Structure 1
Amino acid sequence: MVCVHYGPHGQRLIQRGARLAALIGAPLCVLTVDTMGENEYNSDKEMFLAGWENQTREAGGEFLVRKCQGRKTADVIADTAKERGITQIVLGQSSQTLWQEITRGSFINELMERIGAIDLHIVAVQRYPDMLEETHEEGFTAYLVKRGEHYELSDSPDGDKPLKGVFFRQLHTDFNTGLFKIVNNGNTQYLRIIQNEWVNN
């Protein structure tokens, strides 16, 4: 079972989990735990979820979304794993700082206490340059042009205040979703693009 959370690394974790499932001849299950309230909506997160679900189905797996409903994420993961008879769990390295671990406790330790004999695989979450070859197509020259209040991806510099860069399209997506690389005063920056539009967060 692969556990994914909102962010750019879910695709890589699913790829890793699919390889592991094929290696040991086990079914693939991908889980995301939804911590949002009933009336909350996040369009960016919904796009990630749709992409993960498609990727999971293409790999022959099952995609699950479980609501927290006041419970801890570690409890939801452990309960789902036991319910499904899971023997291996794959998840990304925690981004907690040492201070957060001291004050809130380590998520990994919490999960290990709850899952018992299930093997836990913790995948190091790398920075964008290190993971581009594994998760994105080869980059090509593109532009971000301002249209109204937003910057949109374009193959030509037509439009207001164009930014030139290299666009890396995510694998397994039908949309122009990925990373836009720009170099400004010698500093490299990666901008998130979701369905042709720069998401500035």
Structure 2
Amino acid sequence: MKHVKGRLDESILVCVYYGLNGERLIRRGHKIASMLDCPLYILSVDSKPLDTFDAEKSRYIEQWKNLSEELEVEKFILLDDEKRPIQKVISEVAKNYRISQIIVGQSAQSRWEEITKGSFLNVLLKEVPFVDFHIVAVQRPTEDEIYDTYEKGVRAYLIKENENFNVAFTCPKYVSIEGIFFKEIGTDFDNGIFKFTYNDKMHEVHITEGLVVDVKLLPEGFLSPLRQ
């Protein structure tokens, strides 16, 4: 059942980007909206057209749509092929749907992380001065939570082959990066998460059919040791 604005005249917008934290933010927004008995909207923005989304992006979008239906969210808003600055997009959506509160997540692998930085936050506050912002610190999932979605981790290696970065499960003869691969439950392909340590810090990248999805997420200086 859809909500109508209650006596507090509130409406909440949750901004999500690809990653494991999207569902958490949506459920957090739903909890607050239920307490206030007000409408809840979900927004995702991508600079690429919908028909060019890879398997991982499409999977996240489908999950969020299904969750929005399950929680009876007022509307799931997907703006693809969007070239405008993110603050302009948020402002337009907030005005169109009369949003009073916006929830965004602080995530190490998300565009929305920029909102937590002072300079961008100041720009956003000037662009959308009529809205209250909630910057939610979203923790990385624990190992137990990972096992709910992924199989037990196995030793694996990240190697470079031509222009791709692949996951291998036997130690290659040439230089590689060693880590742990968590395979998604219920898939016949090598889809999941590769976790590894680099410069004494833990990192992770998403793997689809054995390939690193977004090479840009690899830490700076990481690629130089990888050779054929």
Aligned in 2, Cα 1:81/1:189: closer, same or farther, shift over 3 Å?
closer
Is the aligned partner of 1:16 residue 2:31? no
Are the aligned partners of 1:193 and 1:199 in contact in 2 as well (CA < 8 Å)? yes
Q: Which moved more, 1:13-22 or 1:68-77?
A: 68-77
Distance 2:146 2:68 in 1: 17
1:175-201 CA-partner distances (Å, limit 9, x unpaired)? 6865344679x9755342347765363
* Structure 2 residue 101 is matched with structure 1 residue 54: no
**3-state SS of paired residue (1:192):** strand
What are the ranges of 5 or more consecutive residues in structure 1 without an aligned counterpart? none
Distance in 1 between the 2:144 and 2:207 partners? 18
* Deviation (angstroms), 1:122: 0.7
| Secondary structure of 2:26's aligned partner | helix
- Give the 3-state SS of the residue equivalent to 2:142 in structure 1: helix
Partner of 2:141, secondary structure, is helix
Matched, 1:131 2:141: yes
Cα RMSD for the two superposed structures: 4.3
Measured after TM superposition, the shift of residue 116 of structure 1 is 2.8
Matches within 5 A, 1:175-186: 178-181=192-195
Q: 2:47·2:81 contact (CA, 8 Å) conserved in 1?
A: yes
Report the TM-score when normalising by structure 1: 0.64
1:63 aligns with 2:72: no
Q: Quick check: 1:141–1:164 contact (8 Å CA) kept in 2?
A: no
> In 2 relative to 1, CA 141–114 (structure 1 residues): closer, same or farther, beyond 3 Å?
closer
Return the structure number with greater strand share. Answer: 1
**Residues 33-81 of structure 1: CA distance to partner in whole angstroms, max 9, x if unpaired?**
2323x59823133332222222322222221112575532212211211
SS at 1:140's partner residue?
coil
Q: What secondary structure sits across from 2:17 in the alignment?
A: coil
Which amino acid letter does the alignment assign opposite residue 10 of structure 1? G
| Pairing 1:42–2:56 present | no
Compute the displacement of 1:32 (Å).
1.1
Contact 1:137/1:168 (CA < 8 Å) preserved in 2? no
Instruction: Tell me, yes or no, if the aligned pair for 1:13 and 1:90 is still in contact at 8 Å.
Output: yes
Give the direction of change, closer, same or farther, for the CA distance of 1:133–1:143 in structure 2 (3 Å limit).
closer
Within 5 A, what are the aligned runs for 1:28-107? 28-36=40-48, 38=49, 41-43=52-54, 44-61=56-73, 62-67=75-80, 70-93=83-106, 94-96=112-114, 106-107=119-120
CA gap of 1:164–1:77, structure 2 versus 1, over 3 A, is closer
Asked if the contact 2:179–2:194 (Cα under 8 Å) also holds between the matched residues in 1, the reply is no
Q: How many angstroms apart in 2 are the aligned matches of 1:47 and 1:193?
A: 13
CA deviation map 1:80-117 (0-9, x unaligned): 1121122211112354499x97xxxx332222223233
Aligned 8 A contact 1:12 1:134 in 2: no
Indicate yes or no: 2:115 matched with 1:119. no
